[in-house]
Amino acid sequence: MYPYKEIEKKWQRKWEEMDFYRTPEVPKNKYYIMEMWPYTSGNIHIGHFRNYAFGDLRWRWEKMNHRDLLHPFGWDAFGLPAEEAAIKKNLNPLEWTYNNIETARRTIKKLGLSYDWKKEITTSDPEYYKWTQWLLIQLFKEGLLYRDESYVNWCPHCKTVLANEQVEGGKCWRCDSKVEKRKLKQWFIKITDYAEELYWDIEKLTNWPKNIREMQRNWIGRNEGAMIQFKMEDGEEFEVFTTRPDTLYGVTFICISPESVLSEKIAKKNDQVKKYIQESLLLSNIERTREKTGVNTNLKAIHPLTGKELPVFVANYVLGNYGTGIIMGVPAHDERDFEFAEKFHLPIKVVIIGNPPAPHRAYTGHGRMVNSEKFNNMNSKEALNNIVQLLENKGIGYKSINYRLKDWLISRQRYWGAPIPMIYCDKCGIVPVPEEDLPVLLPPVEEVNFISRTRSPLADHLGFMKVNCPKCGRVAKRDPDTADTFVDSAWYHFRYLDPRNNKEIFNREEAKKWLPIDLYIGGAEHATGHLIYMRFITKFLYKLGYSPVNEPAVRLFNQGVVRDENGEVMSKSKGNMKDANELIEEIGVDAARIALLFFGPPESDIDWNEEHLKGSTRFLNRIYDISIEDINNKKIKLDASDREKSLYKKVEKTTKKVTEDIERFSYNTMIASLMELLNQIEVYNKKDVLYQYALRRFIKLLAPIAPHISEEIYSLFGEKDSVFLEDWPEFDPEGILEEKFTLIVQVNGKLRARIEANKGIEKEEALSLALECENVKRFVKRDSKKVIYIPDKLINIVS
């Protein structure tokens, strides 16, 4: 076993002495790499290690390509993950968080990763959350942060509200508890003002994974249609959004969501409706859409064009976050409405006839208009715009765009978060904390009962809550809620640029130097949460003149997860996680990196396999053994004859392959090609100058993958202080050219073709080339069974 512990300590110490990962002040050829940062709810595990190894490999390769690099690291320290973990351990979140940060930092430094620790940030440090609070105040000033009473997602276990993006399958993203609906006054960020820009600018993200872009499009959910005004029989007006105004004449009922303000009004006078609403709000959105249920309000609405009375229901399949929370029931042309109408024996009126028609079910396509007054016999696509025009002329409708995306709910009824910097004054209303008074500090943990209840623990801390109004000086009170952790991570890419700046959120000149992020690495599970928020805040700061870019990252790469031997995703909660510390103690950092990179494609989920650990160790031992035995520091000079040899051609082809594989993140195939090259080097004449050439090139190619052992071996060549100060090798174009030969093709022993082919091709490839030739195919019968192949000379197909 090569002495990995000694080698790793030696080179990590040397890199530190060289200040090797320091970010240059004036980048000439900049490259900004970021990985999504970890929650501080435990030590670094192999899932983190694998993710960070991707970024480190890229840093080292870009360094050898003469890029000026920014590679920062930080800690997502606030929020539910850290707080819940602390409570389970019967510790306070501050103590738990900072102990974990210290432990995790030590582990990461043992991994020898290329982070500039001078750029380190922690969201729970006052110097960070001061600027989170500043950001909230700017949003408030721009009319994008507001407080409203609304039905919200409530986790009964975490005892806090959740944004829509934090509800997964009707359950809390953190604890899997069933989410309920509660009506509370909360703080929202008006992200919907940016919905159009967020939607269309997805087209700019050409180097983001296609599935992430599609998930964002679907989550934003842009739908063109019309807003149509209806009236209740008592004259009260309400609006309905529809993507199919051409079906307006087919409306036979109205359905209102349980969350709607109109439902609440009806419930005040109707106990049956009130009971139904209470029961519906206990169900998740998924449960509500499985079975169509509802209650008849015994009220009537008036059709805006025909004047006919329409029965009004409260129905749980109508969700409050779609459109206005009220739908017009068109059962002949909507499948959900069809199911509801059949269940409640409501009329089904056909207004579009398709080809073929749709008996006994809803027809959802376009076709010829019927039962639609003056629009009869018109094509429904044409009628759609004409009906909207009619509504506009009458002042009872207009073209509209609806978004699935809803405003971002940021209030959390928890202690461990950035206090929302707002003050409530009986005279002045809501007043933001003066910027010069930031940060609004969390009270000491020993003064707060941070165990979650149904309201924020800060509400019970009189010293925190009591404050004078900044406008009138009267006694007022602070907002007791803290901001969701996703607010912290929505802008961290800016703070990394200038983490010690006490005067402003970041220096704009630094932003011009480094933004946008060139490569952002993280999990696909953040597609419809963090990444949308990050894009939004970037656009917001761009409009304020702080950010030079309106999209945060040029390239996004999503790594897969690590599964255990049973196919279960490794996680702390399941107790099946392999600790990174244990792994590197067992086999060393470089061997662990190679194993994690070789398990499978980086973007794919991988299955943990102890055999791969043994294989990576054997690979490095072989490299070390041949290097220590046979290396010399003499200058290498090849002649023309060397360049004709197979080992030279293998080296050049491998150089090309490794370069391309790094660029496209094909790390597993890159390692496989290096293993093939090593096999050829090992059997070559060690006294030949080409052996030394191949060995030196091999170490350069290996360096980004296994940096410690590569540095150690490269130092024996008598070259520069670090292999990473060398140029990344360029392959010889002449060296990768395949040698050609003329393949003689026979059918039953008779010459039928001559084909140019690459030397060394296998029998199957030679046969495939032969059968592409028309003059061969016409003589070959289907029952041909025998093929005779003489490598690099002849193939005979017996037919």
Domains of the chain: 223-402 (3.90.740.10), 610-725 (1.10.730.10), 740-798 (3.10.20.590)
- Count the Cβ atoms, other than its own, within 10 Å of residue 335: 12
Sign of the torsion angle spanned by Cα atoms 714, 715, 720, 723: positive
Mean pLDDT of successive 10-residue stretches along the chain, which has 799 residues: 94 96 97 94 85 96 98 94 79 91 94 97 98 98 95 83 79 82 91 97 96 94 96 95 97 96 95 93 80 95 97 94 92 95 96 78 94 96 96 97 93 94 97 98 91 81 96 97 96 97 97 98 90 98 98 95 77 71 93 92 83 89 88 81 90 96 94 96 91 95 98 86 94 83 91 87 87 88 81 90
List, edge to edge, every strand of the sheet that includes 68-70: 68-70, 30-35, 519-522, 556-558
Pairing of strands 475-478, 482-483: unpaired
* Contact residues for 692 (Cβ-Cβ < 8 A; gap 6+): 631, 632, 634, 636
pLDDT at 452: 62
pLDDT at 398: 97
pLDDT at 321: 79
Residue 200 near residue 433, CB atoms below 8 Å: no
State the amino acid at position 486 in one-letter form. Answer: F
Q: What does DSSP assign to residue 69?
A: E
- The Cα 419–Cα 707 span in angstroms is 43
Task: Say which residue the tokens 């110490």 belong to.
Answer: 13
- The Cα 267–Cα 280 span in angstroms is 13
* Contact residues for 679 (Cβ-Cβ < 8 A; gap 6+): none
Alpha carbon of 453 to those of 154, 155, 427, 447, 659: distances in Å?
12, 11, 30, 16, 55
pLDDT at 574: 66
Q: Please tell me whether residue 244 adopts helix, strand or coil conformation.
A: coil
Angle between helices 580-587 and 93-110 (to 10 degrees): 20
* Contact residues for 627 (Cβ-Cβ < 8 A; gap 6+): 695, 699, 713, 716
pLDDT at 393: 97
pLDDT at 205: 97
pLDDT at 339: 94
* Contact residues for 516 (Cβ-Cβ < 8 A; gap 6+): 32, 549, 551, 552, 553, 554
State the amino acid at position 244 in one-letter form. Answer: R
Q: What does DSSP assign to residue 560?
A: P
Residue 684 near residue 642, CB atoms below 8 Å: no
Task: Give the DSSP H/E element, type plus range, for residue 32.
Answer: strand 30-35
CA 113 to chain centroid: 22
Report the predicted TM-score, pTM, of the whole model to 2 decimal places: 0.87
- At 20, list the tokens: 């090797």
Instruction: List 178's β-bridge partners, or say none.
Output: 171
pLDDT at 169: 77
Q: What does DSSP assign to residue 555?
A: B
pLDDT at 784: 64
pLDDT at 36: 95
